[in-house]
Each structure stands twice: as structure tokens, then as C-alpha cells.
């Protein structure tokens, strides 16, 4: 892959969009390589958490590649949007936790990519935004929908309608980013959180992610039914037996994901 770096280091994987000369902008090749990398992560059964970040010091992903998009026809733009949606849906659909380490500009497709992760940590120099209206278009990789679900309808409209950037502190204030850290500490923090996650029961973490996402847009009673079913499915697994036996014996559990 030319523009994607994938490091598989034990249970934690790090995926880097590495096109710094173009501020890691998303074109069709980057999206295709990103999709291939997600497939590798999904196929690697030892990976229990994924961190996504951008190469270089300036950008996470500064957006889609405007030079490539400028000449697209309606049919071609439909195909481009469909590609972006497929890739981000596959990222969001990974059964393992995905952490966005936003180390710089995350604009347009960059914000949309971060939103497809389970949660976002940002460096102090990070900038977020959906500036597509400045170009005469709208977000095309899920920004109108995922951003609304995270920050609320009015705030999402403000961000999308104005096309203005918000800094990391504002992103935390509105619930877009969980924490803001010095740039030099961002990746270490993400790896620390991922390290805590991978110590937990992997079947339980995957089930928790599935239940939260499946129930998020359902009426409470329907969502709680999904939770009950997910809770019950874990009983009888090796991880459930090990976790509870370890608790009773006052020792650390040794989860095997079965």
C-alpha cells in the first residue's frame, strides 16, 4: 500500500493514513487501501483494538481530495460517495474498539472518518470541521448523519451550514472529542486506553459495542431487549467462566476470546 501504514503489534493495531504532502487527503486510492487495511484488521483474530491516525505533524485527514473531486460527474460523484460510505461503514462495523487519534486537521472527510470510530482523542492543535458548503456541496461520507447523532441536530447544522472550523477545546466541549492532549502525548494516551481495553474480555467488549450501536436509534424497550439477549449470550463462554472464576479467586483473568 502506498498511502496506508498498518502496524499489527500484539493485540493493538495502528492504522496511519500516510499521505502528508497532501495532508492525508482521501482520494479513491487512499480509500481503497484503507478498505484493504480494515480487511486485514478484521482477519487478524489477535487484534483487539485499533487506533487510526494521520501521518506527519499537520493533519489527521484534511478532507477528500478536491483536485480529484472537482471534475466528477453526478454519476462519478455518486460512486465516490458510495465508496466512502462503504469504507467508513466497514470501519464502524469492526467488532473491536476503534480509537481516532486526531493529531491535526480533521476536515470534511477527516471529521467523517473520525466520527466512524468509537471515540476520538485530539491533540491541542487539532481542528475539526465540515467545510463542504464552502465548495458548493455537502458532506458525502456520513457527516450529516453521524455528526448529528454525536453533537445534536442544532450544533451539527451550525458546523455544516457555516463550514467553519472548531478547535480541539470546542470539540471536547460539544462532545465530539473525549479528551484533548498535548501533541506529544496523544498517541501514548490512545495506546494506554487501548491497552486497558485489550485486558478485558474480548467477547464482552465486542458484544457491548454491538449492543450499544444496535440500540442507539431504537426505542428504549427495544434497545433493552437487545441488551438482555447480548448479556445472556455471553454466559457459558470460556471468557465468562474465566472472568468470574478469576474474580472469586482474586486473581487477574486470562481471557482467550472463546
* Exposed/middle/buried for residue 88 (C-beta within 10 Å: 0-12, 13-18, 19+): buried
Lowest-confidence region among 47-61, 63-77, 162-176, 199-213: 63-77
Distance in angstroms (rounded) separating the CA atoms of residues 153 and 145: 9
* Polymer length of the chain: 258
> Which domains are present in the chain?
4-197 (3.90.226.10), 202-249 (1.10.12)
Cite the active site residues.
Answer: 112, 132
For 213, the 3-state DSSP assignment is helix
Give me the pLDDT at residue 180, please: 98
| Average pLDDT score over the chain | 97
- Taking CA atoms, 26 is separated from 33, 111, 167, 190, 232, in Å, by 10, 12, 21, 23, 41
Report yes or no: 197 and 49 within 8 Å, Cβ to Cβ: yes
pLDDT digits (tens, 9 = 90+) for 70-119: 999 999 999 999 999 999 999 999 999 999 999 999 999 999 999 999 99
pLDDT value of residue 27: 96
Residue 9 has what pLDDT? 83
> CA-CA distance, 250 to 196, in Å (whole number)?
18
CA geometry: angle at 226 spanning 225 and 228, to 5°? 65
CA distance 9 to 5: 13
Q: For the residues 10-20, what does the mean pLDDT come to?
A: 97
Amino acid at each position: 500500500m502506498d498511502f496506508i501504514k498498518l502496524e499489527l503489534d500484539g493485540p493493538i493495531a495502528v492504522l496511519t493514513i500516510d499521505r502528508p504532502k497532501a495532508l492525508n487527503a482521501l482520494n479513491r486510492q487512499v480509500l481503497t487501501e484503507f478498505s484493504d487495511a480494515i480487511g486485514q484488521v478484521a482477519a487478524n483474530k489477535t487484534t483487539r483494538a485499533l487506533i487510526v491516525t494521520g501521518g506527519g505533524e499537520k493533519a489527521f485527514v484534511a478532507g477528500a481530495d478536491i483536485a480529484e473531486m472537482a471534475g466528477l460527474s453526478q454519476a462519478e460523484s455518486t460512486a465516490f460517495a458510495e465508496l466512502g460510505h462503504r469504507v467508513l461503514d466497514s470501519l464502524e462495523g469492526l467488532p473491536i474498539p476503534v480509537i481516532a487519534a486526531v493529531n491535526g486537521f480533521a476536515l470534511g472527510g477527516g471529521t467523517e472518518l473520525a466520527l466512524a470510530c468509537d471515540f476520538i482523542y485530539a491533540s491541542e492543535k487539532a481542528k475539526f470541521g465540515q467545510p463542504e458548503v464552502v465548495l458548493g456541496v455537502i458532506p458525502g461520507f456520513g457527516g450529516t448523519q453521524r455528526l448529528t447523532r454525536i453533537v445534536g441536530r442544532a450544533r451539527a447544522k451550525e458546523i455544516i451550514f457555516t463550514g467553519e472550523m472548531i478547535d480541539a477545546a470546542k470539540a471536547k466541549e460539544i462532545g465530539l472529542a473525549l479528551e484533548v492532549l498535548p501533541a506529544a502525548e496523544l498517541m501514548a494516551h490512545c495506546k494506554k486506553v487501548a491497552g486497558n481495553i485489550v485486558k478485558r474480555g474480548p467477547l464482552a467488549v465486542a458484544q457491548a459495542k454491538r449492543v450499544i450501536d444496535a440500540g442507539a436509534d431504537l426505542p428504549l424497550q427495544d434497545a433493552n431487549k437487545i441488551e438482555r439477549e447480548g448479556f445472556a449470550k455471553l454466559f457459558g463462554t470460556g471468557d465468562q467462566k474465566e472472568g468470574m472464576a478469576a474474580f472469586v479467586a482474586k486473581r487477574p483473568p486470562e481471557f482467550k476470546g472463546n
